[in-house]
Structure 1
Amino acid sequence: MESDRWPDGAISRAEADRMLRSADAIRARAASVPRSHALLQLMYSVMLAAYMALFVYTGSNEGGASVFGGTTMALVLPPMIVSTGLVYGAAERHGGRLRSTGRHWTAIGVFLALLVVILVWGIAGGGYPWWLAPVSAVVTIVLFGSRPAAALVRGSGTPQRTTAEREPLSPGPRTVTIVMGVYFGIVCMTLLVPSAIWAVTAIGMMAVIIALSAQTASWGLMRTGWEWAVPQWLAFAMAVAVMFLLALLVIVGDVITPLIAVLAGGVVAAAMVASALLPGRSHVASEA
């Protein structure tokens, strides 16, 4: 009868099979996109697509030079830059499970190529038609949203743990969240004063660059995104939605009044400040 042990007293074949199955399960789990993060990535893709649509339209023949790189970009550029550090910080909770793949880098390459084509067309060709805006938005959402959308549809991602401990945001992320909310609010409130909004934007961008360069410092954007939970992400989504809506109204025409700008800024600031006082994720536990 054949022995179930390897020569020289090694582990049994049954035990080796169990170890192999365990390793396969670990690899399968590592290859999956956690559901909570898949949803976050999908929402980020939608945000990026909306930004591309606004950016491309403002440079089109119909958009006109008066809004290209003007108030519209002053509204949507700050949350776009800030979101990069926040989303990257959230991804760090999953460690090596979210490393960039060849498909991801291909998507970035195609996206950059699309952006270059549009810019060259606009400069060398004297402008381009407005319909490139929705086309660029669709291409962007397909490039960056297909993988997280597929993970959500399949339901194969790792479910978020419902028993994970929730703690108040640590002082650094809480302060960053409050400052971010106040800053976004001021940007909205100064919307109708071009010199003021660009001064506010310039100061804010310098602060963002410092926060991004801080990497994992307690007051950095990555650490803030690492600790944010559902309340903070919802408040950020509300702030982004309001700022993008204001940018759209700027393109439409003279729709925004000083009262609307002030009210919008108040809503944005209040939502972010309130979320800073609510619990975030555990400071030490890594969650799926």
Structure 2
Amino acid sequence: MSTSSTGVLVLLGAPLGNPEDASSRLRTELARADIIAAEDTRRLRRLLSELDLVPTAAITSYFEANEGGKTAGLIEQLYDGKRVAVITDGGMPSVSDPGFRLVKAAVDEGLPVTCAPGASAVTTALALSGLPCDRFCFEGFAPRKDGERRRLFAELAEERRTMVFFESPRRVADTLCAMGEAFGADRAAALCRELTKTHEEIRRGTLAELAEGAEFDPPRGEITLVLAGWPGPDASEATPEAMAAAVVALEATGAERKAAMKEVAVRYGVSRRDVYDAVLKSD
């Protein structure tokens, strides 16, 4: 138990599915905590059972819908000298999971925050994808609304790093189709589901192939998408028809024509005058 004047906030990296991935540090922190704030208390209790642990900590729920109401109370517990552990259903708290508000509040108050690292769906999927891993970016969940999702993908059209997304199985087919429209149907990607679990599956292929597969064989469980980055401009593809169509596509997402033409010029490695002439020719 905590004996310092103020407590410590501990972020616990939880196994993605296989309890054998739990570190000895995770076991120690679960046993040592005064309070365990869990995204799902039922899943926490199942993990505790699998690890053969019977903690003395008070267990409280801490998920997206109640973060706002519970953060202040947990900060008070830290001021009272408690060791507060935060754990989500899998992976690291605050990374597209509950925890960020509490971390920020603790940092703003000057309270100590530490971490027991663990499994990560982001790096696990990246390593298994077969796509370049030297540089990557994590984009979390794509927006649910079609227009917002299209705008995001348009912004990422020239991202050269490998991209990693989380997605719901209910939306993954639509997301893959939207990615195909924004990045090109032949862009290489990987769909990783149920990582480290009994039904782990890695589907690799083009966005068109993965979208078709998701439509006719819908994947279940927790999904991570890995998408190859933009390879750079290809002058051979800079036809007037292609450039004009790209401008129209960007305008459809809400971009102004001037900004759209500038973006298309960078995408194809040509001058803005070339794009302007292509648009005039198509009108």
Higher strand share: 2
Considering the TM-score relative to the shorter chain, is it more than 0.5?
Answer: no
- TM-score, structure 2 length as denominator? 0.23
Structure having the higher helix fraction is 1
Q: Which has the higher contact order (CA 8 A, sep 6+)?
A: 1
